[in-house]
């Protein structure tokens, strides 16, 4: 019995020591997840909140005061271990392209069953109207692609709705543009009327973008100053 008590005491002291140093491998007793409130404001003397606030300030780029002695972890040499920053950025670009490419295929599949031609008036549906009506034409179906990318974390300044035109016959169309780079966005066409797959705008001959917009912003597509100067 005495050995069991000593073992239990040793376990508790070891767990407390790990918690005190904030280790990632802290062992805590299991709790019933169904009985928890995950968003309760912390107590004023919450020991973790101080550490959290320090990280929040650094993450947001705000001055957080001098770092505690010994707070800076050792740094691995990128020449020997590779660059974690480069690895992260490459993986991010790869996965974003994969998601966007799969979306382009999916939305065109959906348009085969959910395309509704315009009536006498060219009404631009909202996202909710498109879902409620179980379909729409290109300017409604395009919203599914636009909102999907935004909800998955694509930034507000890199995903836009776009009006494109085919100068040969004046045909207008609505697509989603993803600006991975500033001057040659990827095109996601909801119906396939302009293109299939996910090409860059420069790879789609016969079409030109004339407007780029979102819920909050509105831009006209015009020749860049560099292009004008070269002419």
pLDDT tens profile 115-174: 999 888 888 999 999 999 999 999 999 999 999 999 999 999 999 999 999 999 999 999
Secondary structure (DSSP) of 138-167: HHHHHHHHHHHHHHTT--TTTEEEEEEEET
Looking at residue 15, what is its pLDDT? 46
Paired residues of 160 in beta bridges: 177
Does 203 map to a domain? yes
Kindly report, residue by residue over 212-225, the tens digit of the pLDDT. Answer: 999 999 999 998 76
Select from 146, 131, 230, 127 the least CA-distant residue to 189.
Answer: 146
Q: Whole domain around residue 218: which residue ranges?
A: 86-223
Q: What's the CATH number where 192 sits?
A: 3.10.620.30
- Identify the band that residue 62 occupies on the pLDDT scale cut at 50, 70 and 90: low
- Rg of the chain, C-alpha, whole Å: 27
Does 95 map to a domain? yes
Does 172 map to a domain? yes
Does 26 map to a domain? no
Does 69 map to a domain? no
The pTM is what? 0.72
Does 129 map to a domain? yes
By the 8 A CB rule, do 207 and 185 touch? no
What are the angstrom distances between the C-alpha of 57 and each of 21, 45, 75?
Answer: 21, 19, 21
Does 204 map to a domain? yes
The CA distance from 93 to 104, in Å, is: 17
Number of structural domains found in the chain: 1
Q: Which residues of 31-62 are buried (b: 16+ CB within 10 A; e: fewer)?
A: eeeeeeeeeeeeeeeeeeeeeeeeeeeeeeee
Kindly report, residue by residue over 172-201, the tens digit of the pLDDT. Answer: 999 999 999 999 999 999 999 999 999 999
Give the count of beta carbons closer than 10 Å to the beta carbon of residue 7.
Answer: 10
Looking at residue 70, what is its pLDDT? 60
Kindly report, residue by residue over 67-119, the tens digit of the pLDDT. Answer: 665 666 677 887 777 899 999 999 999 999 999 999 999 999 999 999 999 88
């Amino acid at each position: 019995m005495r050995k069991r008590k000593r073992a239990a005491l040793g376990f508790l002291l070891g767990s407390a020591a790990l918690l005190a140093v904030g280790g990632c491998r802290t062992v805590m007793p299991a709790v019933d997840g169904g009985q928890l409130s995950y968003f309760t404001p912390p107590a004023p003397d919450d020991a973790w909140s101080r550490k959290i606030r320090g990280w929040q300030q650094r993450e947001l780029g705000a001055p957080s005061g001098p770092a505690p002695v010994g707070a800076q972890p050792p740094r691995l040499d990128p020449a020997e271990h590779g660059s974690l920053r480069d690895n992260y950025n490459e993986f991010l670009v790869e996965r974003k392209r994969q998601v966007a490419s799969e979306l382009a295929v999916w939305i065109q599949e959906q348009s085969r069953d959910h395309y509704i031609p315009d009536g006498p008036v060219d009404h631009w549906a909202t996202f909710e109207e498109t879902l409620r009506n179980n379909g729409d034409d290109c300017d409604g179906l395009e919203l599914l692609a636009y909102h999907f990318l935004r909800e998955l974390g694509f930034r507000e300044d890199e995903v836009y709705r776009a009006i494109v035109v085919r100068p040969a016959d004046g045909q207008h169309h609505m697509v989603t543009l993803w600006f991975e780079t500033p001057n040659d966005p990827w095109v996601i066409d909801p119906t396939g009327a302009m293109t299939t797959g996910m090409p860059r705008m420069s790879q789609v001959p016969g079409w030109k973008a004339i407007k780029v917009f979102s819920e909050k912003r509105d831009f006209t597509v015009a020749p860049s100053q560099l292009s004008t100067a070269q002419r």
